[in-house]
Structure 1
Amino acid sequence: MHFYSDFLTLGAVGGLRTGDMFFTIILFIILLALLKKFAWGPLMETMEKREEYVKNEIEMAEKSRREAETASKEAKAQLRQTKEEAQKIIDEARNTAKQEEQKIIDIARQEATRLKEAAEADIQNEKEKAIQALQDQVASLSVLIASKVIEKEISAQDQEKLINEYIKEVGEER
Structure 2
Amino acid sequence: MEFVWTSTVIAIVAFVLLYFLLNKYAFGPLFGIMEKRRELVQEQISSAENNRKQAEQHLEEQKQALQQARKDAYEIIEQAKTTSTKQADVIIESAKAEASRLKEEAVQDIQTEKNKALAAVRSEVSGLSVKIASKILDKQIDQKAQEQLVDQYLNEVGGKP
TM-score for the superposition, normalised by structure 2 = 0.85
Match of 1:106 in 2: 93
Match of 2:2 in 1: 15
Alpha-carbon deviations, 1:31-75, whole Å to 9, x = none? Answer: 212211121011000011111111111121122122222222222
Tell me which of 114, 119, 122 is aligned to 2:109: 122
Please tell me the residue identity of whatever aligns with 1:56.
Answer: E
Alpha-carbon deviations, 1:12-33, whole Å to 9, x = none? Answer: xx53333332222222222212
Bigger mean CA offset, 105-114 vs 60-69? 60-69
Tell me which of 8, 20, 28 is aligned to 2:15: 28
Bigger mean CA offset, 26-35 vs 93-102? 26-35
In structure 2, how many angstroms separate the alpha carbons of the residues matched to 1:166 and 1:44? 141
Q: Which has the higher contact order (CA 8 A, sep 6+)?
A: 2
User: Once superposed, what is the RMSD of the aligned Cα atoms?
Assistant: 2.3
Match of 2:24 in 1: 37
Name stretches of at least 5 consecutive residues in structure 1 with no aligned partner.
Answer: 1-13
Aligned residue-pair number: 161
TM-score for the superposition, normalised by structure 1 = 0.80
The question of 1:53 aligning with 2:30 is answered: no
Name the larger-Rg structure: 1
In structure 1, how many angstroms separate the alpha carbons of the residues matched to 2:137 and 2:57? 117
Name stretches of at least 5 consecutive residues in structure 2 with no aligned partner.
Answer: none
The question of 1:141 aligning with 2:124 is answered: no
In structure 2, how many angstroms separate the alpha carbons of the residues matched to 1:173 and 1:87? 70
In structure 2, how many angstroms separate the alpha carbons of the residues matched to 1:116 and 1:168? 34
How far apart are 1:105 and its partner, in Å? 0.6
Contact kept in structure 1, 2:128 and 2:153, CA below 8 Å: yes
- 2:49 is paired with a residue whose SS is helix
Please tell me the residue identity of whatever aligns with 2:135.
Answer: K
Identity of aligned residues (%): 41
